[in-house]
Amino acid sequence: MAENTQDELIVIAAWLYYVEHMTHEEIAEQLHMSRVSITRLLQRARAEGVVQFTITRPLPKQYRLGNRIKEKYNLSSVTIAKTMSDPNETIKEVCRYAAFEMMKHLTPNCRLGVAFSSTLSNMIEFLDGKSAPSNIVIQELAGTYLSPNAPYGISWRIAEKLNAKIISLPVPVVVQSETVRNAMMEEPSIKEAFQGISNVDVCIVGLGYIGPDSTLVRTGHFTPEMMNELKRKGAVGDILLHFYDREGNYVENPIKDRMIILDYDDLKRIPNVIGVATGPEKIVAIHGALKSGTVHHLVTDMETAQSVLDE
């Protein structure tokens, strides 16, 4: 029998692989060729149109919408949850997706940066400690002493769920004066904790908005008058008390010198920042955060995502 030509081998390899469902190794054995040669034949089969694929269903709407937002803002990823009829249920669904997204980025010995967040406090129940990588370190990014009526601290709860070590900042995020702040920053334990911020690999944050009922007002860190002043300066949202305008430009914080929190430059150096937000009041805040370049991964819901795309 005459030896098969290269074109015939391409067709034979493609048939055996796609129709007969044979493995590369089985085809190589049958054709008396190397596995590498079979791989090359199959690559040529696709490149030359010998094999063509037809997908009979459209891509899911979430995926298409996520890709458009990803391209618009030059993000690494966009994860979109279903919008529920009850806004509280939407928050829970977004946080379920946020927990999954965060777990994807965790690796053995990595350092996860967190602070306080009303939205992310709903994420804890969805974390799976059994599948968590080993030797994770939870790095607090801000003072986490909050008033009893503001149960938004998440660092200890995440550490417990993931069996992780925690580098703690058990101090107020806002203190009375710059003098008090400077004195606290000289405390050895606080100074040592802050040194770990530069080693954060992944950070998950809520995206705050400017309004009289925002988390910052509810926690007592800002008065409605301070929020109005920020709004007059063009601020539309914040990431860890760092404010920005609609185009993502930094807006000076009036109490910056009284805050025990990571610097804005430190935030921008974190390689993977996951921003989580949902709701019509957050649309402009999300847009500004994504324009700022500090957020690499977005987790939100369908209705919010569509509104952000339309901004």
CATH number at residue 24: 1.10.10
* Residue 73 pLDDT greater than 50, yes or no: yes
Q: What's the pLDDT tens digit per position in 235-254?
A: 999 999 899 999 999 998 88
**56 in any annotated domain:** no
Beta bridge partners of 153: 116
Q: How confident is the model at residue 149 (pLDDT cuts 50, 70, 90)?
A: very low
Residue 151: per-residue pLDDT: 53
* Residue 63 pLDDT greater than 70, yes or no: yes
Residue 152: per-residue pLDDT: 65
**54 in any annotated domain:** no
* Residue 148 pLDDT greater than 50, yes or no: no
Q: How confident is the model at residue 233 (pLDDT cuts 50, 70, 90)?
A: very high
Residue 1: per-residue pLDDT: 35
Structure tokens at 112: 């996860």
Task: For residues 213 and 227, give the distance between their C-alpha atoms in angstroms, rounded to a whole number.
Answer: 10
With beta carbons less than 8 A apart as the criterion, state whether 138 and 114 touch: yes
Across the range 52-62, mean pLDDT stands at: 82
Domain tally, the chain: 2
Residue 146: per-residue pLDDT: 55
Provide the b/e sequence for 167-202 (b: ≥16 CB within 10 Å): bbbebbbbbeeeeebeebeeeeebeebbeebeebbb
Structure tokens at 51: 């094999």
**257 in any annotated domain:** yes
**148 in any annotated domain:** yes
Residue 15: per-residue pLDDT: 93
33 and 76 belong to one structural domain: no
More confident residue, 55 or 183: 183
Range of the domain at 35: 6-47
Nearest to 161 by CA among 216, 201, 199, 121: 121
Beta bridge partners of 245: 235
Q: What is the pTM of this model?
A: 0.82
Residue 144: per-residue pLDDT: 73
Nearest to 262 by CA among 155, 165, 158, 185: 185
Structure tokens at 262: 């990571």
| DSSP-derived 3-state class of residue 239 | strand
